[in-house]
Amino acid sequence: MSEVKFQRDAVKAFRFVDCSLDAATGVARLVYAFDDGPQLIETVSFPGAPFNLEGAPGQAVQRALRLLHLIAGVSYYKAAVPPEVVIEGDPIDADTAALMEDIYTHGLGEFAYRNGLDLHGRIRFPASGAADEATAPALGLASHALVAIGGGKDSLVSIEALRGAGIAQTVSWIGGSQLIAACASRTGLPTLNIGRAIAPELFEFNRQGAWNGHIPVTAINSAILVLAALLRGVDQVVFSNERSASVGSMIAGTGEVNHQWSKGWAFESLFGAHVQRHVAADLQYYSLLRPFSELAVARQFAKNDHYDAHFSSCNRNFHILGERPVNRWCGVCPKCHFVFLALAPFMPKPRLLNIFGRNLLDDTAQTGGFDALLEYQDHKPFECVGEGRESRAAMATLGQRPEWREDALVARFNREIAPQLDAAELQIPALLQPEGEHRIPAALWEPLRANFAA
């Protein structure tokens, strides 16, 4: 591996070389390269082989595989951000090219900002010409949901909501996280664990100075689960992204940069429509939590203590490389800060402290982290956290409660920050109302809304 040489500034083209799926083993191979360099081979392993890839279902699988190949390439493209994209084999149509340009440009928004790059207008996927007018056929897929689980509160809320609505589901995740596996097992539902192995050369490139940073991993996972759904013959892929995911961080001199772009409505609407038009007409892709705020989801999670000892939203548990927290919560990252703050208004204080092992709001060393959540003297963190208005409303609510208002950071909020804010904008009830566009099936939407309102 050490013999692989990588000079990012000398790279002229990123190549999509080939993609294939072995029906006998369920292993997909996604092949990429820079210029005439060595092939970079990523593998995705789907349990349940052998698969029948004949007829219309097999053709849909091939279309989904091609889509995955294109989207997963973002992990490698970012290493050099070369001026040319080359697609070997059959060309893609204009619709697909436009989708890829959106995913790469906006999904790499934080990456570009942190590395001082401007990707707007720079990324161009070659297309065969006009948009493809053909519409993918319906396949007669079975009514069943593959539900993405990430180990945090959001996917668990979705799983319980689907269970309550009587929707058959398989709890699904990608990678080898033991924490996610434990949460999935706790649901008592059928599970699907998909393996993904990134080309090892990429880590060597990073050591040699490749561009590196955040990628739209939810877009990649979405494409993987769409392919998995077709291999299993089921009609729904369900994620658990709230409306707050569509709101980025406002950076002075730059504008909005959204760490969560591939969790937002813009990606969901584009990708879901593309799948139904170009892959399979009866395959539904949607986020069950899209119309809800983070606070509404936190309130829903707090109604059930079944997962208290198993869930974690701390992203340090899920880093590919580096240390992981000894416990499920590191207690110092933006995710820990936000989940603690979002849950605090909706559950007894002893229960919350038992989950986290300590009181994050009574620790002055955490001041800067919570200020960022409040968008006070800082911008919203580049993390999957709620809107500033949600954090401010949660903190203001705690500031009125005897059990919380003496804690160091709550007392400071009451003393220094609250007087600068409009009290009318610090009310939680208004933030619990669903709003905005979504792709939730009509038959599921009304019972879901009623369940959240209860």
Q: What pLDDT does 248 receive?
A: 65
- Give the separation between CA 318 and CA 333, rounded to whole angstroms: 13
Distance of CA 452 to the CA centre of its chain: 22
Tokens read off for 395: 């903190």
Q: State the amino acid at position 398 in one-letter form.
A: L
Q: What pLDDT does 321 receive?
A: 39
Is the Cβ–Cβ distance between 255 and 304 less than 8 Å?
no
Q: What pLDDT does 317 receive?
A: 60
Please report, in angstroms and rounded to a whole number, the separation of the first and last CA atoms in the chain. 57
Helix pair angle (294-302, 334-343), 10° resolution:
60
Q: What pLDDT does 314 receive?
A: 87
Burial of 378 (0-12, 13-18, 19+ CB in 10 A): middle
pLDDT, averaged in runs of 10, over the chain (454 residues): 77 98 98 96 98 96 98 98 96 95 94 91 89 85 97 95 96 94 96 98 94 96 98 98 80 71 95 97 98 96 95 69 59 92 97 95 94 85 82 97 97 95 93 95 93 88
Neighbouring CB atoms inside 10 A of 370's CB total 25
Q: What pLDDT does 2 receive?
A: 47
CA torsion angle 390 437 98 241 (round to 10): 50
| Phi/psi at 431 (5° precision) | -85, -10
- Give the separation between CA 205 and CA 9, rounded to whole angstroms: 12
Stated length of the chain: 454
Q: What pLDDT does 1 receive?
A: 44
Rounded to a whole number of angstroms, the CA Rg of the chain reads: 22
Tokens read off for 168: 């058959």
Residue holding tokens 């605090």?
344
Q: What is the pLDDT of residues 403-443, one digit of tens each?
A: 999 999 999 999 999 999 999 899 999 999 999 999 999 99
